[in-house]
Structure 1
């Protein structure tokens, strides 16, 4: 084994050991056993909301344990893999395994950095088209596809609450929830303005067009958040759901629009089949928006007192260039890739990891 390879393996082992200490595998194992006992109680489903919380946490704890124990086994096996490779005179597979492990351990290390108050929550994602006309609406739909493809590739369920389609192409706005542990912690670094530069497919003169879309990421509210919304503070309107081009997708007035009168915040939901379900989903989104508003107000107060750090993400945070050259670049971290199509197909892990590391450095 080359000295450089031995150093890489030693560094990998050291990083994973630190991760194991931070995760506290003993406590995690004990929590898994406790949740398994609760999940095995026949009376658990007498309270469906509590049962769902227990099973969701159990799944997350077991997934984390499985991931770290699997990585530990693979790291411990590396010296043997290299020894066998030397006997065969070909270490290409061993090098491939070492590279894959370095990437996997680095990704897990980033997850251990997610210790914010709401980081472990699921995420509500809002996308709105900005300047750029029909190209901006198309761009907003491309971003929605990017995030849903990322979720699908990683095994996370997505519930689309509402999509407002534009007249010619694309969408005016969309709201969806990404289910899974630490979704808010990971996706919150995507918040900001995303800029697209390309030859417009909607311009008969094939001119270059710059389009903008806004991404907002909120933590899903929980019962412990105490976001009370008096009935007198909201106005509920119902209407008929519609799809692209005005095509009716539901023959009843089941879509719901809720306006929060004190703040002017408006949320809509037309995904569910019943008006009651749509109202409940819309209320959850409204609570998430009010929770984020409360958090921002509290942070502003701390910043005014000199207690807050420089955590501003700015407005424009990433550029996607398809012409005259191809590149996607994060303007905060300077992380960039030369294959925009791969990114738009959901390969955004590198941007998420660099964003989380950047945020950690900014908040020190």
Structure 2
């Protein structure tokens, strides 16, 4: 398990160096599905765009769920429809995760993948960066680094980022990128929509991304474009604002090739994490209760962390392992 994690990180660093460049002249950014082969690996192409008149793909490794951006000329490509891609890659962890998310789509709240790695002692940490006038709660990241630096470095964390937060918190974003550049943390960037609109009075069925008139294509693709422009690598994951969706919205998200991620442990709501939990806190300064609860959780696990008996897991590996042997 740990050898696989180490190998995965080495691969991710190699891909990261090629994938986290800033793309400042993005044009024709669009959904594109296809089988993309560059020996010895098969990839799923899910986006196509040009930058300074050069063509690129956003690609997903269907076995490990990592993503990368690469020059389209490097690949032998067979274009496909979304349905054809699902059939072609149906036996991979990537497509199994998409199917699992679609099977839970009838829930109005918390549709998607809620847990991973049920056999492991530890959690996958996700922190949401919703629009906020407050600064990033940096305690989350300094505390996890200080707790884990002797046993697990970089420390994996998944951040659900909105386009508005990203573009209005450039100083905080630069600080996070610096931590990652120093190999103190490794960030999986989750698409959390661009606007994250919310109404205090509207019912859930007409709230968040279910608000009438919402342009879901804009919410998804604009966020990805701005990630790339800011030097961030979009992952294959999506988190619904407010964890609110309906069946049609879930299928809309999976039609972009994205896996909805929920949670079974929203700390601010008193939900306690179990082995394999996908934990949710908010890092945007608006939810100090959840952050305080997470810091207390870390402090309670100090001895287990030191003995490598309680660790943080990369979200991609958690989901990948969950579906690798599923038939």
Q: What range is the shorter-chain TM-score in?
A: under 0.3
Higher helix share: 1
Considering Cα pairs closer than 8 Å and 6+ residues apart, tell me whether 1 or 2 has the greater RCO: 2
TM-score computed with the length of structure 2 as normaliser: 0.26
TM-score by length of 1: 0.24
